[in-house]
Amino acid sequence: MFLRAKEANEWLDNRRIAIAIEILREEAADWYNLDLEKDS
């Protein structure tokens, strides 16, 4: 799915890495917050 978005948006390889990092950062934050809510 990510590679399809890369192709569709014509991201360069170095930009692709930065975007992947940001997506993973957001996913980790969401997971952390859900885990906090579950423990409350």
pLDDT at 40 over 80: no
User: Total structural domains in the chain?
Assistant: 1
- Spatial neighbors of 16 by CB under 8 A, at least 6 apart, are 2, 6
Find out whether 17 and 27 touch, Cβ atoms under 8 Å: no
Q: Of the candidates 5, 8, 33, 32, which has an alpha carbon nearest to the alpha carbon of residue 19?
A: 5
pLDDT tens per residue across span 18-31: 998 999 999 999 99
Per-residue model confidence (pLDDT) at position 4: 92
The three-state secondary structure class of 40 is coil
Cα-atom radius of gyration of the chain, to the nearest Å? Answer: 14
Domain extent, residue 15, equals: 2-39
Per-residue model confidence (pLDDT) at position 24: 94
